[in-house]
Amino acid sequence: MATFPYKGVVFDFNGTLFNDHEKHLLAWQQMAKTLAGYDLSEEELEQHFHGVPNQVIIERLVGRSVDHETLEKYSQKKEALYREACLADPAHLHLLAGAEAYFDKLQAAKIPMTICSASIKANIDFFFEVFNLARWFMYEKVVYDDGSYPDKIRMYQQACHHLGLDPADVRVYEDAPSGIQNALAAGIGQIVVISPKACAIQDERIIGIYPDFKSCV
């Protein structure tokens, strides 16, 4: 049986396990137009909003703090637009190449794993249904945006807590620069970047960059 240089694994979801960047862009562009009459560019989404909780994005768009009820309404609207876009493109409604085989390897080796996502609960429910994630992941150990986390640093720390592991013993898979920075700040021991692009962040804990999971061990 293969040996693994880590005790547990935490996966970001959006953009890491599921290539849904265009779907989020479309949904946020519609919301930016609705909330602020603003044309949100792909570059702005990538640099400032990717992997950030909805509350932060919505308050940046409207330029002020938003009460919980209003935040929930806007957040649910954005994610409904996102899910509609995903379902309208069934050819791309699948996990990245090699992901399921990698899950199987981790499961066979009894390496604990979970998901840490800036998505809200409705999206996590959607992902569990369409990708049958319960084959590998315990729903109750998934960390998602329930409104209680100030940033993804705390979310990554909570994900490690759910695995019963110190962050230094955990490997994280991330795609977004902001998510990578948050994982580093959370004390994660190893980070693998899943992206077709080079990573501008320099840190010895970033141990590899891959376009998908076919080479991951």
Run of H or E including 207: strand 206-210
Domain C-terminal end among 36, 68, 90: 90
Q: What is the pLDDT of residue 41?
A: 87
Q: What distance in Å separates the CA atoms of residue 51 and residue 210, rounded to the nearest whole number?
A: 19
Flag whether 2 is in a domain: no
Domain that holds residue 124: 8-18+94-210
Strand-by-strand arrangement of the 8-11 sheet: 113-115, 8-11, 170-174, 190-194, 206-210
Domain C-terminal end among 90, 105, 120: 90
Dump pLDDT digits (tens) for 185-207: 999 999 999 998 888 899 999 99
CA 177 to chain centre: 12
Flag whether 216 is in a domain: no
81 and 179 together in one domain: no
Dump pLDDT digits (tens) for 109-132: 999 999 999 888 999 999 999 999
Number of domains the chain is built from: 2
Domain C-terminal end among 90, 106, 137: 90
In the chain, % of residues over pLDDT 70: 98
59 and 104 together in one domain: no
64 and 144 together in one domain: no
Q: What is the pLDDT along the chain (217 residues), one digit of tens a residue?
A: 567 899 999 999 999 999 998 998 899 999 999 998 888 888 887 777 776 778 888 998 888 998 989 988 998 999 999 999 999 999 999 999 999 999 999 999 999 999 999 888 999 999 999 999 999 999 999 999 888 888 899 999 999 999 999 999 999 999 988 899 999 999 999 999 999 888 889 999 999 999 999 988 6
34 and 118 together in one domain: no
14 and 121 together in one domain: yes
Dump pLDDT digits (tens) for 130-142: 999 999 999 999 9
Q: What is the DSSP string of 44-111?
A: HIIIIITT--HHHHHHHHHTS---HHHHHHHHHHHHHHHHHHHHT-GGG-SPPTTHHHHHHHHHHTT-
Flag whether 180 is in a domain: yes
